[in-house]
Amino acid sequence: MNYRENIRLALESIKSNRLRTMLTALIIAIGLMALVGILTTLDAVKKSMTDAFSNMGANSFTIRNRGTGIRIGSGKRPKPFKAIRYEDAVKFKDSLNTPATVAVSVFASGGSTIKYGNLKTNPNINVQGIDENGLAAQGLGLSEGRNFSKSEVVVGNNVCIVGGEVVDKLFKNTDPVDKLINVGNNRFRIIGILAKKGSSMGFSGDRAVYVPLPKAKQINSNANPSYTITVMVPNNDIMDNVIGESTALFRNIRKVKIGETNNFEITKSDAIAQTLFENLEFVAIGGVAIGIITLLGASIGLMNIMLVSVTERTREIGIRKAIGANPTVIRRQFLIEAVVICLMGGVLGIFLGMVLGNIISLAMGGAFIIPWLFIILGFILCVVVGIGSGYYPAKKASKLDPVEALRYE
């Protein structure tokens, strides 16, 4: 008997037990939906993070007073060193003698309210102090207006650059450029509007106001803020050389003695992405474990269904053996039937998992993806589960004695 005939018989058996088959296929679908959904979400998040960091430029590194702070669960917080002072950051920027661009920034406030006339935003606007290179260092562009000039950064003029969300809230039908707004207790003139970027990994770059570094010192509620230095290198080939020179220069500025370890952290931009990807592996392992446990339960259910099917069709098996079907043909029929049921649940589960994963991805600001690798692996997994669950029932059916089977009622 060929495989086509076996598949036809399997489909006829499935049609005669539709409810039982649908429930079994649904259990398999739920297992694969959990597996494919989680893995699709992780792939979409990785793509979103890659795009976010590529906008910052792969050839850059930052100098901070602590590590990135990216950790999973109860991992240890990065050890903080003494804050990087404004004077130290500016001295580094003026003294670094390499073909690189240096930007200095500081976080001033994460809960500011921006006011224009009688309108105001929610108290959730981020205020950052940057220099003339700050926008480029963070991968930000302007849709209107201009960037800070060097003189404005040095003097600390009352000018600012605002994000798209601030504009939408305060200037619905008005051109915001050259308008005066209140950031807390300070008054600023808008000189530029950031191009909208949406959110990446849950953070929105549109909900922000950027001011010159000296003005950020006045807004900052922290009496001893730590400044961040970003060094953008034109060519990755000289990255290590620039990092070496930057380390030596900043050790001298921070008065680190020979033999002592650095009291600051240097982190490449792509290293931050790699750290995030490594942490996501733990989530992926958990997702795979959940999917496999669900599929294991589904395979046990399928095996039980197939054993019941063998019992119900004992006379049919006896008749087929009596007219010449050998044990191999009987075993193959029941194996194919188990695989077909798994594939029915697999198609539904893979589709639902892909939809679920992309819905979560789009809600997080990610992109829509089609996980071809997981789709192929899902179908392979269905075949493996079908063979594993159907082998024992198929073997039992193939060993039935035809005479005893024909007597069965």
Asked if residue 193 and residue 159 are part of one domain, the reply reads: yes
Last residue of a domain, one of 263, 284, 306: 263
Instruction: Count the Cβ atoms, other than its own, within 10 Å of residue 301.
Output: 16
Percentage of the chain exceeding pLDDT 90: 21
Domain end among 242, 263, 284: 263
Is 228 found in the same domain as 362? Answer: no
**Quick one: 226 and 309 in the same domain?**
no
Residue 25 lies in a domain: yes
121 lies in the same domain as 241? yes
pLDDT per position as a tens digit, 314-333: 887 788 778 877 788 788 87
Asked if the structure places residue 35 within a domain, the reply is: yes
Q: Report how many domains make up the chain.
A: 2
Compute and round to an integer the Cα radius of gyration of the chain: 32
Q: How far apart are CA 52 and CA 272, in angstroms?
A: 11
Is residue 248 situated within a structural domain?
Answer: yes
Do residues 94 and 161 share a domain?
Answer: yes
329 and 251 inside one domain: no
Same domain, 191 and 126: yes
Q: For 57-71, 157-171, 348-362, which range has the lowest pLDDT when averaged over its residues?
A: 57-71
User: Is the pLDDT reported for residue 387 higher than 50?
Assistant: yes
pLDDT value of position 79:
62
Domain with 192 in it: 82-263
Nearest residue to 207 (alpha-carbon basis) of 130, 128, 103, 273:
128
Co-location of 139 and 205 in the same domain: yes
Residue 41 in any domain: the answer is yes
pTM, two decimal places: 0.58
Q: Are residues 102 and 131 in the same domain?
A: yes
Give the confidence band of 115 by pLDDT, cuts at 50, 70, 90.
Answer: very high
pLDDT digits (tens, 9 = 90+) for 83-94: 899 999 999 999
Same structural domain, 130 and 250: yes
- Structural domain contains residue 65: no
Is residue 380 situated within a structural domain?
yes
- Cα separation, 240 vs 258, in Å, equals 21
pLDDT tens column, 225-263 = 899 999 998 887 888 899 999 999 999 999 988 888 888
Residue 136 domain-assigned (yes or no): yes
Residue 199: pLDDT band with limits 50, 70, 90: low
Query: What pLDDT is stored for residue 71 in this prediction?
Result: 47
pLDDT tens profile 26-66: 878 887 887 788 778 777 777 776 666 655 555 788 898 87
Domain boundary among 214, 236, 263: 263
> Is 203 found in the same domain as 301?
no
DSSP label at 80?
Answer: P
For the ranges 129-133, 221-225, 270-274, 398-402, the maximum mean pLDDT occurs at 129-133
Sequence-distant (6+) residues with CB within 8 A of 378 are 32, 35, 36, 346, 349, 350, 353
Spatial CA neighbour of 305 closest among 10, 1, 86: 10
Calculate the average pLDDT of the chain: 81
DSSP secondary structure code for residue 312 in this structure: H
Domain assignment present for 76: no
What local confidence, expressed as pLDDT, does residue 36 receive?
81
**209 and 108 both lie in a single domain:** yes
